[in-house]
Amino acid sequence: MLLLLLLSASSSTMASNSKETGIRADTSTLEYVHSIWRHGDRTPAELLSLEDIRKWPEGIGELTEEGAAQQYRLGKWLRRRYGEWLGDFRRDTIYIRSSDYNRTLMSAMANMAGLFPPKRPLTPGINWQPIPVHTRPKATDKELYEDAKCPMAELEMSKQWKSKKADGIRKKYARELAFFAEKLNLKNMELKVTWAIYDNFFCEQQHNIPWPKWMNSTLFSRVTDLYNEVSQLDFHTETLRRLRGGTLLEEILNRFKDKINGNLGENAKFYAYSAHDSTIAALLATFGIFYEIYPKYATCLLVEMHKLQNETRIIRVFHKNETDIDRLIEYSIPGCSPPCTLQKLLEDLSRYFPSDWETECGLTSNFEFVYLVIIFGLLTATICSSTMFLLEKYKKKQKFSGEDTVPMLNVDDSD
């Protein structure tokens, strides 16, 4: 009896966590959408052996033709869901931001070709119109680049690698880990590198590139499980949710507030992030939705804000969680049963908003700050005095030459 209760309890929490829903959005109340997708099919992000480079003419970690096609289809699917509501391309309606990788930038462009076909061909035969895609440098992209330098998050991650959970995985897959260490000639078979093993064999499988004799589908399915279990070490702690997922969640929820306050303008409707598996995983985890399968190619998370008749704003989270599939699921956000208001979500989740990310990451400790101020002061003094010196010299020279305008510090910026 107890067992039965436990079983039904666990299955009911699973079921209440997500349910299948229709493809068409409920546009009667829809006010604003955030869409976060993973790039399409790519070549391995890191090779197991340098010789493997021959297998991948596109280069490493690059979008393939198939990947671009997946994104184009995702764009067409987004048109089915939002098309009538979104209308034709308008500069003040949408904003597309990509991480600074060829594969995510190209994915964004392919997706937009599917979402916004032109009303008439741009020029005969070209059924495409340009849509702006924005990006920012990787090093400062704390919303979309989960590897952005953050010492505190790295420390937390190193604790994860030493955790009981990690040890459990090491034990469970001891045979496979030893096997790969031997076959790949790795001295230390760290759990950290198992994703690269999965990634390489997965990419080869997708592209019909034959595996070595010792690899087969039975072993690959074990590697897939290993990969998914190891992925669950990421983003699952309070610190990692705050430092890795919190940055993007904060931006998204704040943008909803901006929409309500009129700061985005009347016509703003759709903001898309073209990013990575880790972006989706970190965001989900910060919502409190813990994935079992790591996000796949060209899958897409949709965070919608709806305005009810009494002006209350509610948030709904949808996931197109398989590549090229029509099925869409809706999550119920833990701790915020539907109708989940923006207000409640902000109350619950603002604890994951890093108020000063750089400082919390340990990037600017007070000591370093003082140090920087001193260096900056010294530099300014040096530059000022040497400029004065040069200026004096120049003035003297000018007296003799009588030339009109010779710029002092002429920097050639013609490139």
Query: What single DSSP character describes residue 237?
Result: S
CB of 175 to ligand NAG, least distance (A): 9
Is 236 assigned a catalytic role? no
Q: What x-and-dash track marks residues 159-198 binding ligand NAG by CB under 6 A? A: ----------------------------------------
Answer yes or no whether residue 312 interacts with ligand NAG by CB under 6 A.
yes
Q: Give the other-Cβ count within 10 Å of 33's Cβ.
A: 22
Q: Specify the stretch interacting with ligand NAG by CB under 6 A; choose among 91-99, 196-204, 216-224, 259-267.
A: 216-224
| CA distances in angstroms from 238 to 13, 127, 211, 285, 349, listed in the order given | 22, 47, 39, 10, 11
SS3 96: strand
For ligand NAG, the closer of residues 219 and 260 by Cβ is 219
With contacts defined by CB under 6 A, how many residues of the chain interact with ligand NAG?
17
Binding test (CB under 6 A) with ligand NAG, winner from 21, 29, 93, 102? 102
Asked if 277 is an active-site residue, the reply is: yes
Rounded CA-CA distance 253/60 in Å is 35
Q: Which is nearer to ligand NAG, 258 or 322 (CB)?
A: 322
Element (H, E) at 223: helix 217-231
Residues 272, 96 contacting (CB under 8 angstroms): yes
Q: How far is the CB of 65 from ligand NAG (least distance, A)?
A: 15
| Residue 135 contacts ligand NAG per CB under 6 A | no
Cα–Cα distance between 289 and 394 in angstroms, integer?
66
Distances (CA, A) of 277 to 168, 298, 314, 405: 24, 9, 26, 56
DSSP secondary structure of 46-78 = S-SSGGGGGG-TT-TT-B-HHHHHHHHHHHHHH
Question: φ, ψ for residue 291 (rounded to 5)?
Answer: -75, 150
Selected range binding ligand NAG among 108-116, 159-167, 200-208, 308-316, rule: CB under 6 A = 308-316
59 is an interface residue for ligand NAG by CB under 6 A: yes
Are 166 and 160 contacting, i.e. CB atoms less than 8 angstroms apart?
A: yes
Q: Which of residues 332-361 bind ligand NAG (CB under 6 A)?
A: 339
Order of strands across the sheet that contains 313-320: 18-21, 328-331, 313-320, 300-307, 30-38, 270-275, 94-98, 134-135
Select the residue interacting with ligand NAG from 310, 366, 401, 405 (CB under 6 A): 310
Q: Which of 172, 156, 332, 119 is nearest to 243 (CA)?
A: 156
Choose the catalytic residue: 39, 276, 306, 319: 39
Nearer to ligand NAG, 101 or 116 (CB): 101
Calpha distance 112→120 (Å, rounded): 16
Mark residues 9-48: x for contact with ligand NAG by CB under 6 A, - for none: ---------x------------------------------
Q: Interface with ligand NAG by CB under 6 A: which range of 63-71, 77-85, 242-250, 306-314?
A: 306-314
Please identify which residue in 45, 219, 346, 363 interacts with ligand NAG, judged by CB under 6 A.
219
Residue of 41, 141, 199, 277 with catalytic role: 277
Binding interface with ligand NAG (CB under 6 A): 18, 59, 101-102, 214, 216, 218-219, 293, 296, 308, 310, 312, 321-322, 329, 339
Would you name the residues annotated as active-site residues? Answer: 39, 277
